[in-house]
Amino acid sequence: MKKIKLMSHLVAGYPTNELALTAARALVKGGADILEIQLPFSDPSADGPAIQTACTKVLERAYKTADGLNFIEQIHKEFPDVTIYLMSYGSLVYTPGVEAFCERAAKAGVKGMIIPDLPFDYDEGLTEACKKNGMINIPVAAPSMSQERLYKLAHAGFPFIYAALRTGITGTNTTIDDNTLIFLNKVSAGGSKVYGGFGISTGEQAKALADSVEAIVAGSVFVRIITENQNDKEKLSIAVEAKVKELIY
């Protein structure tokens, strides 16, 4: 049976450091290929209610960017062969200086950066700073982009592009139809490999996407599972692992 590659999303420190680590271990045990770890941010532009609420809960503990990077470092030390991408917003990267942030992220074990609100052609030097530190910048493509701009992004030479499968915020259900597959073909037209996500929560959706992407991306579904099982560490672990297996097999 062919395994579908999965990039699974996790909010650093949610709902506690211990439970976030439990969830990360369950994701890896279930078979996730990539961990996309989000640094909590107060004013996200793409996150739906589940992720936004998770970020708010973590920030209420006075959680800092440094805490998130320490969390990533801990996971990297435990799972050195698992690819970790850092997802956040431009403000957190820009404030300490893009180069300084990228250097620190790389030391923590990050292999790629996903910063949705930094446009690929005005990225404040992010792509170069990533290259300098052995990481990649993974820009985001959205169906709302003009055809001209989408073509420009697809042919800009990025190794990977994150394709948001619909407009709006993540977390609500996404229908995979012919328009979705046409969009993905346009994103990959320049040779970039594509990660496809936004509202992916079932095995059926994963299978419908699998042949058109390098990996599927699932986020809110895991945040909801963590939220529902946060009072029982063992149940949380079992539920997360089971959802990974549902998505990839």
Catalytic residue ranges: 36, 47
Q: What is residue 202's DSSP assignment?
A: S
How far, in Å, CA of 181 to CA of 177, rounded?
7
Q: Give the total residue count for the chain.
A: 249
Do the Cβ atoms of 214 and 194 come closer than 8 Å?
A: yes
Q: DSSP states of 72-85 as a string?
A: HHHHHHH-TTSEEE
Do the Cβ atoms of 111 and 135 come closer than 8 Å?
A: yes
Do the Cβ atoms of 169 and 188 come closer than 8 Å?
A: no
What does the buried/exposed string (b/e) look like for 172-209 if buried means 16 or more CB atoms within 10 Å of the residue's CB? eebebeeebbebbebbbeeebebbbbbbbbbeebbbbb
Q: Which two tokens stand for residue 8?
A: 């699974």
Do the Cβ atoms of 48 and 76 come closer than 8 Å?
A: no
Inter-CA distances, 68 with 52, 118, 124, 147, Å:
16, 20, 22, 36
